[in-house]
Structure formats: C-alpha cells, structure tokens
Chain A
C-alpha cells in the first residue's frame, strides 16, 4: 500500500513540476551570466583581491554563509559525539578487528605525509585555485583516518582535537569581529591589505579564514570518526587515569 502512495505522490509532483516549469527550463544554454553573478565576477579582484571568484563570494561577499556552514559541521560533529556516547569501550580494536596487515600498515605511513601536504596546499591556495577550507580540511582528516584505521596509531585524544576545534572556531569569529571593530564597522569585512593577484599571501583575510576553517574541519572530522568507531570514551577513560595517551 505504501508503494502506491509513494508512486502517486511522486507522479503528481513530477507532473506538477513538468507542466509548470520544465517547459521554461527546456531552453538553449544561456549565453550571459545573471546580474548578480556578473557583479560578483567584476567585483572579485577590486574588492577582495582573490583570483577564485567562488572563494571571494563564499568567504568575503557572503562570509556569514560560510560561518553558518562551519556551525552546521560543528553541530553535526557535536551531535555525533553526543549520540555515540553509548558506543564507549568498544574502541577501534573491536570495530576493525585486524590491523589491515603489513601492506596497509606501511602503505599508510608512506601516504600519510603526501595526503597532509596536498590537504594543506588546497587550504592555503583556496583563493587562487579550486578548493578551499572544506575539501582541504577533509583531506587532512582522511590522513588521520589512514593513521587510525591501519593501526599506525590506535587512539586519538579527542581532548586535543576539541581544543584545536575550539581555537579555530574562535579564530574565525575573532576575524569577523576584527572587521566590526575596524573603521569599516562591518562584521567579516576584509580589512587586511589585498596584496597582488596570484600570490599566496594576497586577498586579505580570505587565506586566514580558510586556514581557520581548514583546521576546524580537520579536527572536527577526526573526532567525528573517532566517536563513530567508539574510541572517544575509550581514550577519555585513559586520559582520566593520568592521561598516559
């Protein structure tokens, strides 16, 4: 019976969308960019000094969206940690019974520095080439997973990760308040010098914000996976006993 309702709902929605709008969407590719997109392309270099227009929009022109986005990721990491309290005690050892053997063990140690290097590169060059804080942060986090899952290092102290995460978040908010306290009196304003196009240290606070975002994402996602594999409280118990870890 539920299948029938499902089909009915979908077909009616599809018909509704198709008749109303798809005719209007089934047109040739547009040849000109919309007004706001055009304004963004033109304003990128004068106002932000970044080469990557998408980064200029995401970090500076619509900086509050990115602050919201960081908050959403922070919320989901908090939520996962909150809800996975019960998995305690069954740490990585139980979830991944074997260590992945010789090849994975040494392979991970080999690949580790490369992954971190690429991740940091993507974060640092967010305003010049595609990518930025989020994909770069994720890459660095995958390096941490490689470490955790192939038995190179068993436990990750979530306490240190929480401190890093907190500092990175506070850095982002502080950068925003910096703009508020400056003469421009506007939150998240790009008050630092713009530098010359194409240089790593250009585009004012954009690289700094992306550095903060990258660190925060990397720290958050490592705690996220640690909580999911249940070693969050395992390491907490050890840190409780004099913090040998």
Chain B
C-alpha cells in the first residue's frame, strides 16, 4: 500500500511537471487529464471513493473536454508553446525563440 502511494506520487509529479512545461499544448492537456486520473487513484488509495468518482468524472472527463474545445477555438491544438496560436506565426518552427522545455521530457 505504501509503495503504491509512492509510485503514484512520483508519476503524478512527473506528469504534472510535463503538463506545465511540455511544449505542445495538445499534449499538455492530455497530460493534465492523466494527472487528474492519477489523482483519482490517489483518492482511492486514501479510501475516498466518493471523491475519486467525482474527480474522475469532473476532473478528467469534463475538464479535458472543455480544454479541447478551448484549444480548438483558439486554433492552438497543434501549436507550440511560444506562439500560442497567434494567427500570424501559426505553429511554424520559426516561432521557437525561447521554448523552455525545462523538464518536459515526457511528451
């Protein structure tokens, strides 16, 4: 039980760092959904089934859906972090001025 908590926690922190630092927004949203599912698992390990169901239903399914709609609406599903779907420089490689991929090795 304790070992499982440590494994889930390490995975959780890694993917959360990925969700924040990975360059492509599309994968950032998917990583966030995965983190949310892992959090739901943590709640199960903490013997909190009610919260796990709510987190899984609202946290991962619904929030990810709204993020996808937001990305679609701002044309930045496949855009990289720096240009953020700017209509002019759309997702071109040229827009890589300062793409800080500090810890984002997970994408």
Contacts and interface: CB of A to CB of B under 8 A. Distances in A.
Interface of A: 3, 52, 54-55, 87, 95, 122, 130-132, 134-135, 138-139, 141-142, 145, 221, 224-225, 228-229
A138 B58 contact: yes
A228 B50 contact: no
A166 to B, nearest CB: 22
Contacts of A135: 53-54, 56-58
A52 B50 contact: yes
B69 A55 contact: no
Q: Please report whether the interface of chain B is mostly helix, strand, loop or mixed according to DSSP.
A: helix
Given A95-B69, A95-B73, 4 more contacts: A132-B50, A135-B56, A142-B62, A225-B66
Contacts, number: 47
B53 A131 contact: yes
Interface residues of B, number: 19
B54 A134 contact: yes
Interface in B51-76: 51-54, 56-58, 61-62, 65-66, 69-70, 72-73
A60 to B, nearest CB: 15
Contact of B62 (A95, A122, A131, A221): A221
A228 B61 contact: no
Contact of B50 (A54, A142, A224, A229): A54
A130 B53 contact: yes
B58 A228 contact: no
Contacts of A225: 65-66, 69
A52 B53 CA distance: 14
B103 interface: no
10 contacts: A55-B50, A130-B49, A130-B52, A131-B54, A134-B54, A135-B53, A135-B58, A138-B58, A228-B70, A229-B69
A9 to B, nearest CB: 16
Nearest to A137: B57
